[in-house]
Structure 1
């Protein structure tokens, strides 16, 4: 599989998210590079989808802008290929299962391998369906990154034991989007996960400020920020790269300040 887990060794990871082709091809490439320059450990790139059930209005609006720009799945790969000419930052995709199914599991994973995409986050794929794509992903060296939520309950053990790359820990109930209140049992949830695996954990959904990122990185092995960055892109459009690099640096500083032993 990939070397994603190694990124978290003795280092709290910051994983920012952008939607591909929002607002356009060239700006997305520059955004990925800006995130890398700002200190991102992994960049999560969203493949626009018509029914993103895990995403709130900020990311849904970005998907619509990308569709208006004429995005296709192949466009997203081409964006990564272009970014790869200037950065080797690890990249993972957030996508939905129908996108991968339509492209073809084998073909999609092989294309990921060609473009240097290390992992896939697929929010609408339950653990019980992962065997559909797992053989193709394994052959291509792609991690299928699972989500564990506050309601995963008795399923946590089997999800955690099968995980690779990292585990996406959902911070609260509901969809993505900036929020100020999170599930109060996150420390216990992460501790529960760690009973069953050494695969690192990263908390996402709703985290949008450096202070929140510092707190979450103190609980888990890393933190994911999406909507806050997508909102910057919506406001700044083609001027987004400079703004998101500045934001990323501020989060990087905060995450580094949380360094230390696992909580």
Structure 2
């Protein structure tokens, strides 16, 4: 006689956010569902069904359009294309989260607005940066489109700057070149830091003094760990991360110089 098999059925009520939290709590057996798969269950409806048609099937339209610009390993089947598109469009429309976006659109007849937005993002990327590179897969294109999509840009000049920076050995995060050429924020690039030997050499040459200090600190001798390495000629003006371009500044002076 076959042993009886039992299954446990959960009945979950409450708000959408409460049900989503509950699904996450019980999402422990077998292959765990992704956050977006859980959201799809909570916010099921005509909008979600139509969105999955564009973003969530093998060979779906979004994959064919944007596979060169999505992170390596990003899968439509695991809902990562849909999650990314919603995240970008939520930001564009002033919503705080994917959950808020899906709740707002859950009962819409279709997801045409999201699909048209996603098409606009990718069309803008292709027009603005027509040379495809592997580093483009790790860029948050929707965020850049939201900020710069309506601005007049020069793709030729942008490509020249991108190509130059791709060859710059001081730029450690090559994918950061794309946001950098648009907003000028060097933090995107992870500029190569001065080595400990370079910092020590500059410190000894300066005899522990900060060349930017004035007043009572002008002749103060700082400890090495009280100072930070700085490019004498700024990197964005062509200065390299080499010993001869290194100076040690006290932390206050360095932060005033960098504006942080």
Query: Which TM bucket (shorter chain)?
Result: under 0.3
Q: Give the structure with the higher percent strand.
A: 1
TM-score scaled by length of structure 1: 0.23
Determine which structure has more spread, i.e. the larger CA radius of gyration. 2
Q: Give the structure with the higher percent helix.
A: 2
Tell me which of the two structures has the higher relative contact order, counting C-alpha pairs closer than 8 angstroms and 6 or more residues apart.
Answer: 1
